[in-house]
């Protein structure tokens, strides 16, 4: 076994090692002066830290809990209202509904805007008329209109 | 006659089933350790009492949903630690108000019988002076008796982070208490 790592040293002093690991450390420190000194220092620090004693008795928290528990309701099976109002289900559904409404509204606006843009584009640009040229989309539109008329006639 | 002690998990199951005396039993079993731990983190008994009381009320609230996935104590001390952190945040917000009553707080600390001893106060000061995460790690390890893995479960930090925090914390404490040692002797 090599020299003891810091984490292993802490675990050794705090009693957090398995018996076999503990034996290995003990064997090593009996042979390695440096690690033996480190173990002594850590053990001393551990003891000094133990001097900070705290007396937690006399605070009667359990007595208060006993008194309060008499007034508390027994934990019971949850009702649908608990899930809806306490688990954030209602706010979540409101958020989802709002998102859908906003998405539909924005989609509708975008649709209107794109139709208006398309209609504006259908008007022949001025530079074409100044050159006495027909605008292809206008031709296409009339061609389509003719097709529709013919289609209507067939009916 | 040997009375078999009921496990924490069994008491939680009973509490979940509506047996309110289980809450009291859990409180009696863990009260001292929770109070000590909260006091060591917060440095005030009144705040430690609030944390302990609130912890058991949270246990009661969670009893029905509680599922024993890990150790009960890890789950319990996670609640304690979270409440301590909340309490520290509130204390920081109310720092001005606390300064106004600083005299009373100082008096209360002086009255603590366990901290009359000079060495005890020096150790407390050294632990208090550690960075927050190192202090929490040391309080859980040295005074709570938790191992690296338990601390990792309680705090949510990785095991390697806990090990690294403990190594740095004990090194800092060795330096600080080494400086004080000459003064105390």
For chain A, which residues make up each domain, given as ranges? 6-48, 81-121
Q: Are residues B3 and B88 in the same domain?
A: yes
At A14-60, the pLDDT tens digits run: 998 999 999 999 999 999 999 999 999 999 999 999 999 888 777 78
Q: Are residues B13 and B98 in the same domain?
A: yes
Could you please report the per-residue DSSP string of A52-71?
Answer: -----TT--HHHHHHHHHTT
Q: Are residues B105 and B38 in the same domain?
A: yes
Cβ-contact B135, B178 below 8 angstroms: no
- Whole-number pLDDT of residue A58: 76
pLDDT range class, residue A155, cuts 50, 70, 90: very low
Question: Is A130 at the interface with chain B, CB within 8 A?
Answer: no
Question: Does A65 contact B27 at a Cβ distance shorter than 8 Å?
Answer: yes
In chain A, the residue whose alpha carbon lies closest to the alpha carbon of B52 is: A61
Q: Are residues B74 and B103 in the same domain?
A: yes
Q: Residue B18: which CATH number?
A: 1.10.1740.10
| Chains A–B, number of C-beta pairs less than 8 Å apart | 110
Question: Is B169 at the interface with chain A, CB within 8 A?
Answer: no
pLDDT range class, residue A77, cuts 50, 70, 90: low
Q: Are residues B88 and B24 in the same domain?
A: yes
B residues 135-164 closer than 8 Å to A (CB)? 138, 141-143, 147-148, 163
Q: Are residues B42 and B24 in the same domain?
A: yes
The domain containing residue B156 runs over which residues? 113-185
Q: Are residues B38 and B126 in the same domain?
A: no
Question: Is A71 at the interface with chain B, CB within 8 A?
Answer: no
Residue numbers in A near B147 (CB within 8 A): 11, 14, 16
Helical ranges in chain A per DSSP H: 6-14, 19-31, 33-49, 61-69, 80-86, 89-122, 126-130, 136-154
- Whole-number pLDDT of residue A44: 92
Q: Are residues B81 and B8 in the same domain?
A: yes
At B119-178, the pLDDT tens digits run: 888 999 999 999 999 999 999 999 999 999 999 999 999 999 999 999 999 999 999 888
Quickly tell me which residue has 């133990």 as its tokens: A50
Question: Is A47 at the interface with chain B, CB within 8 A?
Answer: no
Number of domains present in the structure of chain B: 2
Q: Are residues B10 and B92 in the same domain?
A: yes
At B44-79, the pLDDT tens digits run: 899 999 999 999 999 998 988 888 778 899 999 999
In this predicted model, which residue has the larger pLDDT, B7 or A86? B7
In chain A, the residue whose alpha carbon lies closest to the alpha carbon of B124 is: A52
Q: Are residues B27 and B8 in the same domain?
A: yes
């Amino acid at each position: 076994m090599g020299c003891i790592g810091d984490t292993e040293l802490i675990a050794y002093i705090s009693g957090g090692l398995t018996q076999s690991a503990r034996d290995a450390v003990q064997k090593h420190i009996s042979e390695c002066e440096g690690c033996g000194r480190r173990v002594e220092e850590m053990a001393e620090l551990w003891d000094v830290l133990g001097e900070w004693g705290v007396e937690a008795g006399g605070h009667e928290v359990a007595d208060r809990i006993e008194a309060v528990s008499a007034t508390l309701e027994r934990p019971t099976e949850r009702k649908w209202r608990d899930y809806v109002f306490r688990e954030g289900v209602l706010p979540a559904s409101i958020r989802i509904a709002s998102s859908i409404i906003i998405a539909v509204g924005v989609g509708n606006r975008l649709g209107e805007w794109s139709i208006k843009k398309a209609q504006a584009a259908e008007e022949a640009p001025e530079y074409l008329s100044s050159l006495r040229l027909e605008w292809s989309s206008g031709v296409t539109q009339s061609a389509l209109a003719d097709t529709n008329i013919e289609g209507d006639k067939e009916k | 006659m040997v009375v078999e002690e009921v496990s924490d998990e069994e008491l939680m199951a009973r509490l979940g089933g509506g047996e309110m005396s289980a809450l009291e039993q859990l409180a009696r079993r863990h009260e001292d350790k929770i109070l000590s731990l909260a006091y060591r983190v917060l440095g005030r008994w009144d705040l430690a009492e609030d944390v302990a009381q609130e912890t058991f009320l949270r246990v009661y609230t969670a009893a029905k949903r509680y599922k024993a996935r890990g150790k009960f104590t890890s789950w319990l001390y996670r609640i304690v630690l979270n409440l301590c952190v909340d309490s520290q945040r509130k204390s920081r917000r109310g720092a001005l108000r606390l300064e106004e009553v600083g005299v009373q707080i100082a008096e209360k600390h002086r009255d603590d019988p366990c901290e009359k001893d000079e060495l005890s106060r020096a150790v407390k000061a050294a632990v208090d002076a550690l960075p927050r995460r190192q202090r929490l790690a040391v309080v859980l390890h040295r005074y709570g008796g938790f191992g690296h893995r338990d601390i990792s479960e309680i705090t949510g930090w990785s095991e390697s982070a806990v090990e690294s925090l403990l190594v740095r914390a004990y090194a800092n404490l060795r330096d600080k208490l080494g400086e004080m040692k000459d003064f105390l002797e």
